[in-house]
Structure 1
Amino acid sequence: MFTQLASVFSQLSLLSFGGGNAILPELQRQAVNVHSWATPQQFHSLFGLAQAAPGPNLMIVTLLGWHAAGLGGALVATLAMVGPSALVAAIVTRLWHRLRDRSWQRTIQASVTPVSAGLVAAGALFAVRASTATVTGAVIIVVATALAATKRVHPLAILGAGAAYGLVTTLM
């Protein structure tokens, strides 16, 4: 189990341009369809918990590792997700500074931004698809988006309202 976790998360680590949400569709495919570490509902619950909690956006990785293999799984998944990309970032940063006067560097830098934005948009689409499985989920998305786009409502207030709604409906 630990080798599978390390293999999957180290590979995803190297693909996570634009942050953790950029790899969500593949993360779900691996965790649910390929390795059966979680059901689709469990994955979405863990994702929601990770987004609601303060801290890094990649908390979903730690939660999936914990769900799959306990504390050891959480540690392996987290280290495998952070380690490879941190090493590559350190190497590329040193090389980038050494070659900072090259004209091609600006071209590469300008082309990475749209790729990152596209990957983040794919992650957002993943979250929307998961949440629109019910009419209630679709209504919540529309209302939350409208509030965020048109009113000066703090995102944590919207998140808190969604959490309160979920708590109330669960207790009923």
Structure 2
Amino acid sequence: MKYTKILIVAATFTFVAAMVAMLFVGGVNAQQTAPNAEDRKEIQQGREEARDLKNEDRKATRITRAKLRGQNIIERATIRIDKLEKLNIKATDLTQKMQEKEIDITLATASLQAATEKIALARASVSEAKTMLDQLENAEDPLAVAKNFKSKMTEVYKTLVDARQSMKEGIQLLKSAKTTTN
């Protein structure tokens, strides 16, 4: 008998605890009813819109980074062009002085003229690359614009290498002409 009373009290306590728990769970469920089909569609659309906004933000961030990188590349190329142009101007001035002294430097002049043309071509290509970079944000296919920019800048650097080579040849020819006359 003694144990039956304990079992009855324990069962009653468990029953009361279960009822109280059901009341709390029922209160929470009453506030948050299960979504019907329309609510689920709205929730899904909200998630998709949030995902689209997140993807657009990522795309904008990527485009901004690409544009900054492109601007840095253009600045470095412009600096290289300016350095080559200054060197070319000095070499051209030297050729004029040597021509005044009636020294034959036709090959050197031709090499320096070729370098001048290549520098001008590189400057024009950099200008086109700047235009491409400006179009990057509004382009339908930014990846294609970025690829075109990359190929244009590759062309610029190849042209600069050719210009530098022509200039070196011209300067070597000037040095050899100068040493033969002295």
TM-score by length of 1: 0.25
Which structure's residues are more often helix, by fraction?
2
Q: Which has the larger radius of gyration?
A: 2
TM-score by length of 2: 0.24
